[in-house]
Amino acid sequence: MKAIVIEEFGGAEQLKEKEMPKPACGVNQVLIRIHATSVNPVDFKIRQGHMKEAADSFPLILGGDVAEYVAVDADIIARIPENLSFEEAAALPLAGMTAWQALVDHGRLAKGQKVLIHAGAGGVGTFAIQIAKHLGAEVASTASESNEKLLRSLGVDHFINYKKEDFSEILSGYDVVLDTMGGDIQRDSFKILKPGGHLVSLVEQPDETLAKKADVTANVFMMEPKGDQLDQLAELAAEGKLRPIIDETYPLSEQGLREAHDKSETHHTRGKLVIRVE
C-alpha cells in the first residue's frame, strides 16, 4: 500500500512516500480503507524526535494512518454520520476527543459554568468551543482578530484579541481553563480561576505551587481513544451540534504531507489540516 513514512528523525524533508505492506489485523481489530485522515501537532513533534518513545521502529507511519489502510482496535471506532464528508470525518476523532476529555473528564465542565479556551481557532479549540456551548457553559476564547468571526459563529460569548488584550486583566471567576499554550499564558491563567476551579493543559505540567496558591486543580493529559466518546461526538455531528472546521486539504504525497507539517508547525491553523487519500 502507499504510505508516507519517516525513516529517521528530522525536518519535513524526512517525510517520504514508500510502498508498505498492508497491515495485518490483530485480535479484535478491523482493517480500514482510508479515504481521508488529518495532521496533528503531535505528528511533527514525533517527526522532530521530541517524543521518541512514540517511535518504536522505522520506517514509521506517523499516526499510523497517512496510508491507504490501517488496522485498529474495533472498540475505538465509530460510524461516520451521513451528513459528514470523509474529510470532515477525518478532522473529528483526535481533536474532538481531546476537547471532550479536557472539558468533561478533566475539567468537569457543567451547565452555567464559565470556561476560557486558549487558541480557540485551532483544531482542538474549535471543537472545545462547540462542546462547551453544548454543555451550557459561558465561553471565552483567545485568538487573533482575523478569527473573531469564526469563533463567534461557533458560539463564543467573550472574544479576546490576544495581540491587543490581556485576558488575565479582563476575565475573573472562571471555573475551567483549557490551556493549549503553556509558558506565561498558562501561569497567567491561574489568575482568572475561582477557588475550586480546574486548569487543564494539553502541553505541559502546570506549576503545583501556583495551583495550590490559587486553590485549584491543575493537570496535563494526553487523549485516550474511546469508542463510546467518539460515538457521542458523531451523534452531535449528526445532529448539527458539532461542525468540523477544515483549514486546508492536502493530497497523500510527499509534497502534500510536507506542506501540511510546515503549516502545522506555524501554530496558526483555523481548524484542522486534512489529508485526502482518494
Contact yes or no for 39/275 (Cβ under 8 A): yes
Domains delineated in the chain: 2-92+244-276 (3.90.180.10), 94-220 (3.40.50.720)
Residue 97 confidence class, pLDDT cut points 50, 70, 90: very high
50-54, 100-104, 119-123: range with lowest mean pLDDT: 50-54
CA dist 277 and 35 (Å) reads 5
Mean pLDDT of 13-20: 97
**DSSP H helices in the chain:** 41-48, 86-91, 93-100, 123-134, 148-154, 167-170, 183-189, 208-214, 227-238, 254-265
Contact yes or no for 139/121 (Cβ under 8 A): no
Residue 58 has pLDDT above 80, yes or no: yes
First to last CA, the chain: 13
Mean pLDDT of 116-140: 99
C-alpha cell at 22: 498492508
Residue 54 has pLDDT above 90, yes or no: no
Contact yes or no for 262/273 (Cβ under 8 A): no
**DSSP H helices in 155-225:** 167-170, 183-189, 208-214
In the prediction, which pLDDT does 163 show? 94
Q: What are phi and psi of 104, to 5 degrees?
A: -90, -55
C-alpha cell at 15: 517525510
In the prediction, which pLDDT does 55 show? 79
In the prediction, which pLDDT does 53 show? 80
Q: Is 4 exposed, middle or buried (0-12, 13-18, 19+ CB in 10 A)?
A: buried
Q: For residue 19, give the 3-state DSSP assignment.
A: strand
pTM: 0.95
276 forms beta bridges with 36, 251
